[in-house]
Chain A
Amino acid sequence: MAGQAQGGSQIKADSKKSSVKEARSIVEKIWDSHVVTQLDGHPAIFAIDLMLIHEVTSAQAFQTLDAKGLKVFDPKRLLGTIDHSIPTRKNRWEIYDESAKAQVEALRKNCKNHGIPFLDFDKGQGIVHVVGPELGITQPGMTIVCGDSHTSTHGAFGALAFGIGTSEVGHVLATGCLLQQKPKSMRVEFKGKAGKGVYAKDIILRLIAEIGVGGATGHVIEYVGDAIRAMTMEERMTVCNMSIECGARAGLIAPDQVTFDYLNGKQHAPKGKAWDEAVAHWKTFVSDEGAHFDRQIEIDLSALKPMVTWGTNPGQGVQINQPIPAVKSLPDQEQGVAIRALEYTGLSEGSTMEGTPIDWAFVGSCTNGRIEDLRVAASILKGKKVKDTVTFYVVPGSEAVMEQAQKEGLPEIFEAAGAQFRMPGCSMCLAMNDDKVPEGKRCISSSNRNFVGRQGPGSITHLASPATVAASAIEGRIASAESYL
């Protein structure tokens, strides 16, 4: 079982190192137990427990492998699925875009040739970061990588999970290892209790607005505080997912009973006696009292309102009811970026996000495409109508999410309201499949990036929680969900 996979080696490594250094953070514990070897002045050879693979960042890595005549190191430490470039219409087996089709077929073939487990359409397919956790493959203490920056999502389980480039995908395919430098660590404590209508998405957007898109570069963030402890696993995933948007290498949360309850009974989670041993082992992945962090910050949530981004990076966010900051009030180096961002989004400093008319709405992505997100959106839309000027896509993060939603009757609610419930995939999170926001149109989106053209050339994106998206879709303009809850 996967839980045991890391068990043996970690316990060994732990006892070896514990005499050297006493108080360690989770990151250090995972680091120490995965360094295979390290020569002086060189990066460590770092063992990877699991690599997730998707169609966009893997083909060239398999080519490298083939060119070097190498085999996959261990196919059972890999899991492939398709998400980025696929259509989300009903007849999705047929991919019209020739190059997207070639990508999907290349991954099917590569997985087959190398004996890699592959979740195809109708076989458990979904967004990489949604399927790992729901299958119980993502577990505390593991090292997880994927050729996708939002791999940080898996940190919600107390795993060290980070995005890598295609060359590195090749390294893991061939060796099961990466060359890594030990990351720096940062502790983010959320204080106070967030109010009604404030979700995990608002909390992470608040952090990014506070420290900026490069604020945590080179660091792995550990999130702590009562607000984190009170979150469900899905909410924790939303928080960890967006760690990369403030530049962090990864984000993680110490596992606790909420984590164990979530994993218990999942397909790949340990069972029986192995389960008890795994839990005992997972409980060691907490930061020791007095552990060193390179940086620490606190964020007070007590007065927080829903957040919405106004600009073209995820750090350019404000509370829905507060004015877009004056450019002059920003740090010097951010002013130019802010001016260009406002020009692009067609907004002006001093105005509030609330009330801005929208044309599109999107609930989905690896940030907010899980069942709880769909439930929140459905509860707001139930018995209401999406404004007729708004096109609203609801896209489940995986087939499992879709099936659960169907069991609960959510698609009917969405459709009765005038939203489209589509097949699973990355969809409108990024403009590389059929789902795009048209040029010049404004979209309120539960995804994670509002870069220029991210949802389609010339499109404008405002990031928000699924609740804010649903309320805004009803009103046809950016609106808080508070009055709908």
Chain B
Amino acid sequence: MEKFEKLKSKVIPLPMTDVDTDLIIPAQFLTSISREGYGQNLFRRLRDNDPNFPFNLERFKNAAILVAGENFGCGSSREHAVWALAGAGIKVVIAPSFADIFFSNSAKNGLVLVTLPAAQVERMLVEAQAGEFEVTVDLESQSVTLPSGETFKFEFDQFRKHCILNGLDDIDYILSFKEKVAEFRAGQPTAVNCVQGEK
């Protein structure tokens, strides 16, 4: 996992609530067996149907911070949604709330999700739609700094912060407790005993 510390970037606005993962990456693009190549189909349907969709506009090119409405990432558990965002260069998503599975998928890929109150998100959406709008997201100090110098503080899980700042992944963490896991499992029969498919 890539480390993340601080990022200054243009903001790309997506003033929609309940953006689901089917919208982020439609199902027909999920048949690949690799993690690569999803970025080009990020929001494919919206991009195809609306020439003014932010991801089609030159002025938002290279923006790495996405700001959106509440319940971002709801629906399917597909991690492809996170891979598509990351593949398109998005490193931070700011919204008033996120769906659970999307939230944990993001953490596992170093995509930083910043939860801010609806009013602050709304303000950023308005400013980003109005013109060039660049902010700085600093994970260390848990803050978003606006061009005006104004700063919005956000909450962030300390363990996740540690992992993202240091590029650590969960497997290594769990494996460091290998003995405890083995002890826990000792003597437990397994869940699947015999299965038709093996005949």
A residues with CB within 8 A of B: 1-2, 4-6, 8-9, 36-37, 41-43, 45, 47, 49-50, 56-57, 59-60, 63-64, 68, 70, 74, 76-79, 81, 85, 97, 99-100, 102-103, 106, 117-120, 123-124, 135, 137, 142, 147-149, 163-168, 170-171, 174-179, 181, 213-214, 217-218, 247, 249, 267-268, 313, 333-334, 336-337, 430-432, 449, 451-454, 457
A334 touches B17 (CB 8 A): yes
Chain B residues positioned under 8 Å from A163 (CB to CB):
77, 101
15 contacts between A and B (CB under 8 A): A5-B190, A49-B191, A56-B30, A57-B79, A63-B34, A63-B35, A119-B196, A137-B191, A165-B77, A176-B185, A179-B174, A213-B71, A247-B74, A432-B31, A453-B26
Q: Could you say which residues of chain A place their CB within 8 Å of the CB of B193?
A: 1-2, 76, 268
Give chain B nearest CB distance to A459 CB in angstroms: 12
B26-55 at interface with A (beta carbon < 8 Å): 26-28, 30-35, 45
CA distance A136 to B105 in the complex (A): 30
A269 to chain B, nearest CB (A): 10
* Shortest 5 CB-CB contacts between residues of A and residues of B: A76-B190, A117-B195, A165-B105, A214-B71, A59-B33
Q: Which among B27, B174, B177, B193 has the greatest number of chain A C-beta atoms within 10 A?
A: B27
Q: Are A451 and B22 in contact (CB under 8 A)?
A: yes
| Nearest-Cβ distance from residue B155 to partner chain A, whole angstroms | 13
Contact partners of A5 in chain B: CB under 8 A: 188-191
Report the separation of the CA atoms of residues A37 and B175 in the bound assembly, to the nearest whole angstrom: 12
Q: B31 and A60: CB pair below 8 A? A: no
Taking A165-B82, A167-B109, A247-B99 as given, write out 13 further A-B residue pairs in contact, using a Cβ cutoff of 8 Å, ordered by the A residue number.
A36-B177, A37-B177, A41-B158, A50-B192, A77-B192, A78-B192, A85-B31, A102-B33, A119-B195, A123-B197, A175-B175, A178-B174, A179-B173
Q: In whole Å, how far is B117's beta carbon from the nearest beta carbon of chain A?
A: 13
Nearest CB on B from A243, distance (A)? 11
Q: How far is the CA of A457 from the CA of B44 in the complex (A)?
A: 11
- The reply to whether A147 and B77 contact each other, CB–CB distance below 8 Å, is yes
The answer for the CA separation of A222 and B77 in the assembled complex, in Å, is: 21
Q: Which of B23, B71, B82, B192 lies in contact with A268, CB distance below 8 A?
A: B192
Chain B 88-100 interface mask (CB, 8 Å, partner A; 1/0): 0000000001011
B18 within 8 A of A: yes
- Distance between A440 CB and nearest chain B CB, rounded to angstroms: 13
CB pair A214 B97 closer than 8 Å: yes
Q: Is the CB of B31 within 8 A of A99?
A: yes
CB neighbours of B174 from chain A (8 A): 45, 171, 174-175, 177-179
Chain A residues with CB under 8 Å of B169's CB are 167
**Which residues of A have CB within 8 Å of B20?**
313, 451
CA–CA, A137 and B196, complex, Å: 13
What is the minimal beta-carbon distance from A420 to any residue of chain B, in angstroms?
21
Which of the four size classes fits the interface of chain B?
A: 35 or more
CB-defined contacts of A124 to chain B, threshold 8 Å: 195-197
Given contacts A175-B174, A214-B18, A218-B100, contact A117 B197 (CB under 8 A): yes
| A379-B191 Cα distance, complex, nearest whole Å | 37
Nearest residue, chain A, Cβ from B34? A60
B192 touches A76 (CB 8 A): yes
B16 at the interface (CB under 8 A from A): yes
Instruction: List chain A residues, Cβ under 8 A from B175.
Output: 174-175
Task: Using known A-B contacts A137-B191, A149-B75, determine if residue A164 contacts B181 with beta carbons closer than 8 Å.
Answer: no
Residues of B76-135 at the interface with A, using a CB-CB cut-off of 8 Å, are: 76-80, 82, 97, 99-101, 104-105, 108-109, 118
Which residue, A102, A103, A452, has most C-beta atoms of chain B within 10 A?
A452
Instruction: List residues 142-172 of chain B with CB under 8 A from any CB of chain A.
Output: 157-159, 169-171
Are the C-beta atoms of A103 and B100 separated by less than 8 Å?
Answer: no
A175-B105 in contact given A56-B30, A217-B100 (Cβ < 8 Å): no
A334 CA / B74 CA spacing, docked (Å) = 15
The verdict on B69 contacting chain A, using a C-beta distance below 8 Å, is yes
Closest CB-CB distance, B160 to chain A, in whole Å?
8
A146 to B, closest residue via Cβ: B77
Question: Could you say which of B18, B33, B184 contacts A213, with CB atoms under 8 Å apart?
Answer: B18
- B45's contact among A142, A148, A313, A452, by CB below 8 Å, is which? A452
Whether a CB of chain A sits under 8 angstroms from the CB of B180 is: yes
Closest to B195 in A: A117
Question: What 1/0 flags go to B56-74 for Cβ under 8 Å of A?
Answer: 0000000000000111001
Given the complex, which residues of B lie within 8 Å of A119, measured CB to CB? 195-197
A217 proximity list for chain B (CB < 8 A)? 71, 97, 99-100
Binary CB contact string for chain B from 2 to 30 against chain A (1 if under 8 A, 0 otherwise): 00000000000001111010110011101
**CB nearest neighbor in A for B31:** A99
Question: A8–B187 Cα gap in the complex (Å)?
Answer: 8
* Interfacial chain A residues near B194, Cβ < 8 Å: 117
Q: A137-B191, A249-B100 are in contact. Are A97 and B70 (CB under 8 A)?
A: no
Is there contact, CB below 8 Å, between B70 and A177?
Answer: no
A331 to B27, CA, bound (A): 30
Residues of A within 8 A of B34 (CB): 59-60, 63
A36:B191 contact, CB within 8 angstroms = no
Indicate which residue in B76, B97, B101, B199 contacts A123 across the interface (CB closer than 8 Å): B199
Residue contact A117 to B198, C-beta cutoff 8 Å? yes
- The distance in angstroms between the C-alpha atoms of A214 and B115, with both chains bound, is 15
| Pick from A336, A430, A453: contact of B16, CB under 8 Å | A336
B77 near A36 with CB under 8 A, answer no
Nearest CB of chain A from residue B81's CB, rounded to whole Å:
9
Do the beta carbons of A165 and B79 come within 8 Å of each other? Answer: yes
Q: How far is the CA of A334 from the CA of B173 in the complex (A)?
A: 40
